[in-house]
Chains A and B, each alone.
Chain A
Amino acid sequence: MPPRVRVPSVPLAGLDATSSLSKTAPFARTFSTTPCREKMSKSRQRMYEWLKSQSGSSLAEAPNSPNYLGPFQDQPFPLNPLFRSQPVLDDTTRELIWEKVTVRGDSIKAVSAEMGVDVRRVAAVVRLKEVERQWVTDGKKLATPYAKAVMKMLPKTSYREGEENEPHEPVNEVQVHNLTMQQLFVPVSESRHFTREDAATAFHDKVLSADVRSPQPQLITMEREILKGSSRAESLEKFKEATQAEEEAVAAKLEKQRLWEKKQTRRVFKKGETRVQFRFKAINVDDAGRDGRSRNGTGWRYGAPFEDRKRGLVKIPTSVP
C-alpha cells in the first residue's frame, strides 16, 4: 500500500496561474493529471449539438417569416400533419375592417361576405380595434415591439381593396349537428325529389336544414337571384340593403328594450344636480318563488341557506356578463 500523504486541497498560489486545470475545475486535486470531465449526458450533448446546428440556431433567432419544425411549411408539430398554422389577418386588414364597419357604416355581414372573413371574426376585430383606439386616445402605451415581432412570426392574409383576393376563411360554415352524425336508412321512392330539408326532417322533426342554419342566409338568396338571371351588381346591392335592414332591426329592438327598462325604473335626482341619486324598480315578492331561491328573486330570503360554500358545488363562474 502506498503511503498516504496529505496533499493540500487547494492549489498553491504559484501553481494557480500556470495550470490550466484549475481554470476548468477549481476544486480538482492537484495530483490528478487528467482534466475533470464535463458532466453532461449523451442525450444532453446531442440536444446542444442540434440546437447549435443550422436548423436549431435558425429557430433561436427571431425570424422575418414563419419558421416551423414540421416537414410542411405551415406545420408546427412534425408528427401531426392534421394541425397547421393558419394565417391571421394582418394589421392593415384589421384596420380596414374597423374602418368599413364604424366609419363607412357597412353591415357586418356585408363586410364578412366581401372580405371572406367569418362574421364573428369581423365583430371581434372591430371590438378589439375599438379598445386599441381607446388606449391610444387615453395615451396608454401599446405593446408595439411585441406585436411587431409576433406578426413577423405568423403567416398572414392581407386584403387589398379593389383587387382579387383569396378569402381568409369560409364565410358560410355550418357546424355539424349532433343528430346528423348517425347513419340513417330512409326508404324513399325513386321519383321523389329528396332535398336537404327532407334529409333534415328525416333525422329529427326539429332539425333545420343547412340553408336555415347558415350564418349568411342573405348571401344564399343573392346567389339564387344571380342564378335566376339578375345582374351581380344589382343583387349585391339588394344583399347589402337586406343585411343593413336586419342590423337596424336588431339595433331598434335593443333600443326598445333599453327604453322599456328605463321606463320601469323611477329616478330620483338630488336638488339642483343632474346625477341620479336613487333608482327605484318595482319588485314583486313572488319572484323569489316558493322556496325563495329562484334566480329572478331579489336579495336573500330569511331562512334560505347560502349554498355557496357547500362542498362539491362549483364556485367558478360559468359566464362573465
Chain B
Amino acid sequence: MRKPWRFYSLSRPKLRQSWNKFNLYNIARAAGREPLVNGRATFFQQKWAAKAKTRGYHGEHISEKKWVRLFSRRLLSAVDLPPEYLAANDGSEQAAGRGSGLSTSNLTAESYSRVPGPSKNQRNPTHPGQRKSGFGDVNSMLSEHFQDMTPYMQMTFAPLERRLDTAVFRALFASSVRQARQFVIHGAVKVNGKKASSPRKIPAGDVETPANVVQMVHPSYALNPGDMFQVEIEKVLYGTGEQKPQKADAPLRQSIKSRKKLEDDAVDRLKSKKAGAKTTEGEAAEGDAEGEAAEVELTAEDEIYLQTGRLRRLRRSAREILQGDLRNLSAKQKKELRLFRDSAQRFLSLPEEGKMNADELVSQLQSQIGQLQSMPVFKKADPAPQTEASETEAGEPKEETAEDKQKREERREKKKQFQKRVLEKGLEGLKSEKDRVWAHNIMSTTEFSNEEIRRLANILKKDEENPIDESKSYLTPWRPRPFMSAFAFVPRYLEVNPNICAAVYLRHPVARKGMAEVPTPFGYLTNQLAHNWYLERG
C-alpha cells in the first residue's frame, strides 16, 4: 500500500513499525495511550479508535481486506510444565479433597519452574508523558490483574508476525517493515536458501533446476515453523547503519568543488600517464625507479586539451553570472563579461586544428581573463593557474652523489628487515593479499616502535573488519543508526544469528502467563477493543 501522507505525525500521532526518531518520540510520550474507558465514547467508537490505532502499527502496509482474511480468533498460548512437576504429580492433586470442602492446594506447575521472569527493576520514566494520571485512574485499576493472567488479547496481531517482511524487521535486519518489504521484493531475502519460492508446483518426478524455479519474491509469504530466512549483509548494513549525510545541498557544494577538482584531476591524469610510460621505458635501462616524480613535459596538444576544459568552465560561469542578478555589476564589468563569453564561444567552436593556430584569439582571451580576475565571483571559478605554476617550479630535477645512493641502499635494506619482523609479529589478521601489500607499503615508508606496531596491527585488523569505503550506500565505518537501541529486541519465536544476518522462525508466537510474545506498543485494553472489532460481533 502507498505510504500515507504524514506518516510520522506529531499532531495526530500513529505508532509505526519503524526506528524513526519521530516514532520513538511518539512511543516515548505514550501517544498510543487508551483514553479513559469511563469517558463518553460508545463501545463502537472505542472499538473503532482502538482498531485504527493498532492497525497503524500492525501491518499498516497491508490492506484491511488482507488482514481481515488473516485474522484468527484462535489465540495461541503455552504453559511451562517442568518435568519435575509432571514426574511428581499425576494431576489428581488439583482435584483432591475438593468434594469434602478442602481448599485448593498451592501446588502448581509454576512453583517448580526455575526460568527467570521479567525484570522488576523500575526506573524513572524516560518521558514525563508516561506517568500515570494518579488516583482513581480507571484504566490502571483495570490493568492491575493483567500480570497474573495469560494476556490473550495481546496476541490479536500474531498472524502478521508470521509474514516474511515482519519477521525480517523483528530480527533487526531492517529499520522498518516497509524497508524489510522492499528488501524482500528486491530479492535480498532468501527463505531456506532460496531467493524464490516457486509458485508453480514442481511435479513429483521432476528435478528442481534453476529454470524450473520461478524467481518471485513475496513479502507476504507466511513462514512455517523451522523456516530459515537470510538477508544480504549489504542490505542489512544499509538498513541498520547510520545514513550518509543528506544530499539536499549537494549540487551547490558540488559545483564549487568539481570546478576546482576537475582541473587538477585532468593535470594529474595526464602527468601520471606520461610518468607511467616513461618508467616502463626507463626501468629497463636504469633497473631502479625512484619514487620521486619524474619531470613531465606537457605537449602542446595536452596543453590545448587542458585549456579548452578550463575555458569551457569559465565561459559557463560567465554565462551564469550574466543570467543572474546584474545589479551588483558595473557597466564595464558586464561589458567585459559579455565580450569574454562571446570570444570564448568563438574559440570553442573552432575545429581542433584551428585551435592550435588561433594565436590571436588566444592572446585576446588571456588578456580578457586577466581583466576579469579582478571580479571575485569570476576568480572563484578559476583556481587553476597558480597551482600549475607552483608545480612546474617544484618539479626540478636534483643531482645526487654516490654517497647519497649508498645511504639510500642501506636504508632500504633496513626497511626490508623491519617489514619482515612486523609480518611475523602481528599481521596474521590480514587475510587478503591486497591488504598485506597495503600494510607493507605503510611499514616501508615510516619508522615505528614496537608498541606502535602492535597498535597499528590492531587498527588494521579493525579496519579490515569495518573498513572505510566511500562506495557503500551507508556511512563508513559502519555504525548503528541513532535510536536503534530503543527498538533492539528479538522475540523468542525467532533465533537470530547476526553474523550471517540469518534467522530461523522457530514456532508461532504464543502467550504465557503475564507475557505475550507479539511485540505491540499498545496496552491490553486497546488490543482487547481491537480484537473485539475483528470478532465482528455487534
Contact = CB atoms under 8 A, between A and B. Distances in A.
Interface string B513-533: 011111111111000000000
B91 A194 contact: yes
B79 A121 contact: no
B499 A173 contact: no
A209 B172 CA distance: 38
CB-based closest 4 A-B pairs: A223-B87, A196-B91, A85-B489, A124-B504
B contact patch SS: loop
B425 to A, nearest CB: 23
Nearest to A228: B87
Contacts of B32: 79
Contacts of B151: 82
Contacts of A316: 199, 218, 220-221
B134 interface: no
A78 to B, nearest CB: 5
Interface in A89-143: 94, 116, 118, 120-121, 124-125, 127-129, 131-132, 135, 139, 141-143
B530 to A, nearest CB: 13
Interface in B456-513: 465-466, 477-480, 482-492, 495-504, 506-507, 510
Contact of A174 (B78, B240, B489): B78
Given A77-B520, A143-B233, A153 B81 contact: no
Contact of A79 (B99, B113, B328, B523): B523
B118 A84 contact: yes
Chain A CB count within 10 A is highest, among B126, B466, B496, for B126
Given A67-B485, A78-B126, A121-B495, 18 more contacts: A76-B489, A80-B522, A86-B492, A120-B506, A124-B228, A131-B230, A143-B499, A146-B233, A146-B240, A166-B116, A167-B114, A175-B510, A176-B77, A190-B99, A198-B91, A295-B204, A316-B218, A319-B197
Contacts, number: 321
Give the bracket for the number of chain B residues in contact with chain A: 35 or more
A66 B495 contact: no
Interface string A300-321: 0000000010000001111111
Nearest to A121: B495
Nearest to A74: B119
B37 interface: no
A144 B126 contact: no
A297 B203 contact: yes
A72 B81 contact: no
A250 interface: no
B500 A50 contact: no
Interface in A276-295: 279, 281, 283, 287, 295
Given A69-B28, A151-B498, A59 B192 contact: no
A67 B515 CA distance: 20
A208 to B, nearest CB: 13
A18 interface: no
B303 interface: no
Contacts of A287: 204
A4 B454 CA distance: 75
